[in-house]
């Protein structure tokens, strides 16, 4: 199989302050020839990080740069290592070019999963441009400001037996177990997240940050990276039709903004 797409690999807005917000899993585009190989379930791209652009619609007001994926993670997962190495050895994970959903059902109806050549094509067309943009923007911001923050924004269903037992905490902060950002910043963020009414929070729990956080976070070099994995029930319906719920989102959105304000306060100090 060969891979072809006419959709740009990302959308990007350059900001004025030392903060880049990355949204690698919000994309829903699947090229038609690839979608034809998917199951009916997979064509619904249920494992999308839905509506994060709306939840983070204050980003421009903060002066943040915003990098947004366009293609579904079922095409290629932008938060995985380019060689497909597992981020959580010994635990169930989905791959660089996933072949199964979070519910452990097949993505490919006839089992015609991508071979190495097709994976390489997807990597060149989608993964590499996204990461080039990410690297270039961090470099631009660092040159302009000296210290910069990278915020990797994610969301996930609150109950997913394949990946974790019980119900996930609502606000899952990940700093690569302390390696991707200054510990003082991480403590500040956990303090804010822990005070959100009706929500639970954890630092480096089930999710410690994916490839983006781990690879780009270099606090010793002035790049502080944090991943926030939110439960989708905090702002939306977790099942079809996956609607945004403004009244529910209002309970968490101001606190997410406060988290990012704290990040900016730290790197601009």
Q: pLDDT value at position 89?
A: 62
pLDDT, tens only, 87-115: 666 666 678 999 999 999 999 999 999 99
Q: What is the DSSP string of 6-59?
A: -S-SEEEE--SSSEEEEETT---B--HHHHTTB-HHHHT-TTS-TTHHHHTTTH
Q: Is residue 125's pLDDT more than 70?
A: yes
* Nearest alpha carbon to residue 45 among 269, 257, 242, 244: 242
Pairing between strand 65-69 and 148-156?
unpaired
For domain 10-268, the CATH class is alpha beta
Report the chain's terminal Cα–Cα distance, integer Å.
51
Q: What is the Rg, in whole angstroms, of the alpha carbon atoms belonging to the chain?
A: 18
User: Are the beta carbons of 209 and 174 closer than 8 angstroms?
Assistant: yes
Confidence grade of residue 1 (pLDDT, cut at 50, 70, 90): confident
Percent of the chain scoring above 70 in pLDDT: 97
Q: pLDDT value at position 84?
A: 77
User: Are the beta carbons of 108 and 75 closer than 8 angstroms?
Assistant: no
Dist. CA 240–CA 221, nearest whole Å: 43
Which of 249 and 89 is assigned the larger pLDDT? 249
Average pLDDT over the chain reads 96
């Amino acid at each position: 199989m060969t891979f072809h797409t006419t959709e740009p690999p990302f959308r990007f807005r350059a900001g004025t302050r030392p903060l880049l917000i990355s949204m690698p899993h919000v994309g829903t585009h699947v090229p038609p020839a690839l979608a034809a190989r998917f199951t009916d379930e997979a064509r619904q791209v249920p494992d999308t990080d839905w509506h994060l652009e709306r939840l983070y619609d204050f980003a421009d007001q903060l002066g943040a740069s915003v990098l947004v994926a366009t293609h579904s993670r079922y095409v290629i997962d932008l938060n995985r290592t380019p060689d497909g190495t597992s981020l959580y050895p010994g635990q169930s994970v989905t791959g660089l070019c996933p072949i199964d959903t979070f519910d452990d059902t097949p993505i490919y109806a006839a089992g015609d999963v991508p071979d190495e050549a097709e994976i390489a094509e997807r990597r060149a067309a989608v993964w590499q441009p996204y990461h080039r943009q990410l690297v270039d923007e961090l470099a631009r911001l660092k040159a302009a400001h000296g210290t910069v923050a990278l915020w990797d924004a994610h969301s996930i269903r609150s109950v997913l037996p394949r990946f974790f037992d019980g119900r996930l905490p609502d606000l899952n902060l990940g700093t690569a177990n302390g390696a991707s950002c200054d510990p003082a910043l991480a403590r500040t963020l956990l303090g804010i997240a822990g005070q959100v009414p009706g929500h639970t929070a954890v630092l480096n729990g089930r999710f410690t940050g994916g490839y983006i956080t781990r690879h780009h976070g270099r606090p010793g070099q002035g790049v502080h990276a944090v991943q926030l994995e939110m439960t989708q029930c905090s702002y939306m319906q977790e099942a079809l039709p996956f609607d945004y719920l403004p009244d529910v989102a209002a309970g968490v959105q101001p606190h997410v903004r406060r988290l990012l304000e704290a990040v900016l306060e730290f790197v601009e100090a």
